[in-house]
Chains A and B, each alone.
Chain A
């Protein structure tokens, strides 16, 4: 009996090791909430255990997992509606530093992503980070392949705009805060 129990644990453990980080990142980038993301990852594995009979062999396993992941999140927010939507304004301002430009860009991009409407954010995450093919995403979202392409394009357009605005705002702030760092302009040449 114990052997049976340990055996099943070991096997689901293999799947857990493989998928927990990608799933966690999917949720955390989607919701911006680490604790909730961890809860949802647990829920996904419970559902894998419960509904494993519903997996049809021969279909992509990854897509099946993300189907479960989407449903888990939808069910969660149905049960516990959000009191208020996530507002990026709640985050502390990004402090520009030359030494960590890449870090700063990542931070701004993360915020730009969080500013997107959820459906746009989700589709970008699915194709960029979860490495799902467009056909798989179309099936997952229940829409046409061309619709997926259009949505990705629109999401990316919007992301670019937000990112652009955020970058400009940060630059302005930096210039206002440190005018002494600006190069001198129109200085007189004295001979």
Chain B
């Protein structure tokens, strides 16, 4: 095969995305062609480039940015109409980096804090700014959970599941991500954690249905037992026929069958 044809396959070869046949074709070509094999060698050598570490100040600046952003949002309504002209949070952050800015901002914060303290001291309904911040916070949490559930490492996904439990009300997207995790995550631990997180939301019909359906799909005895226990805990009588079906399935782990029998007697 000519270099031109190989060059179409080469990028996928480098990322390991070729079929075994194509892979062999490329390997055979590389044995004979110096140019193409050098190209592959350069790609591999790129791993020699060191991973550079950002300076520790980077984290400090990040924290400062975060505080400035949040202070900017939370102080806006409390500061009253005389503070209408406020710089945007980005300029604000630049400004904050100068020593003068830092000092001025600290003083301003103190004044605003005292002012806000007086205003909020009396009985007052939940102000719209706090509601707004809570809403924002919920969406950040959601972002973290969704991103972590997509991670390669099981421990990161596990962490993602545990993040989701910090929220009383599950957002539909997070809920569906958790249900997906319960069904398809390759790690038993992560599936168990997802079940645990979902167990708090038994009022959602979707959750119950998924747990019942998972009974037939899951192969791991650990997960099966956890699912059965969950159904018993919910006193889900509708799950009985599904449990019957499960205990009749062949190749079922004896411990799981025993658990299913116990659950059926409990649900009677």
Contact = CB atoms under 8 A, between A and B. Distances in A.
Interface of A: 1, 4-5, 7-9, 11-16, 18, 20-21, 24-25, 28-29, 34, 37-38, 41-42, 45-46, 48-50, 52-53, 55, 57-58, 60-61, 102, 105-106, 109-110, 113, 124, 127-129, 133-134, 148-149, 152-153, 156-157, 159-160, 163-164
* Size category of the binding interface on chain B: 35 or more
B74 A160 contact: no
Kindly list the 3 A-B residue pairs having the minimum CB-CB distance in the complex, ordered from nearest. Answer: A61-B147, A57-B173, A106-B48
A106 B50 contact: yes
Nearest to A7: B137
Nearest to B141: A11
Contact of B46 (A20, A53, A128, A134): A128
A38 B140 contact: no
Given A20-B54, A25-B52, A160-B39, A4 B59 contact: no
Interface stretch (B4-12, B25-33, B99-107, B250-258): B4-12
Contacts of B10: 153, 156
Contacts of A157: 39
B58 to A, nearest CB: 5
B42 A159 contact: yes
B177 A41 contact: no
Nearest to B54: A24
A153 B54 contact: no
B33 to A, nearest CB: 13
B65 A45 contact: yes
Nearest to B172: A57
Q: Which of B38, B54, B61 has the most CB of A within 10 A?
A: B54
B110 interface: no
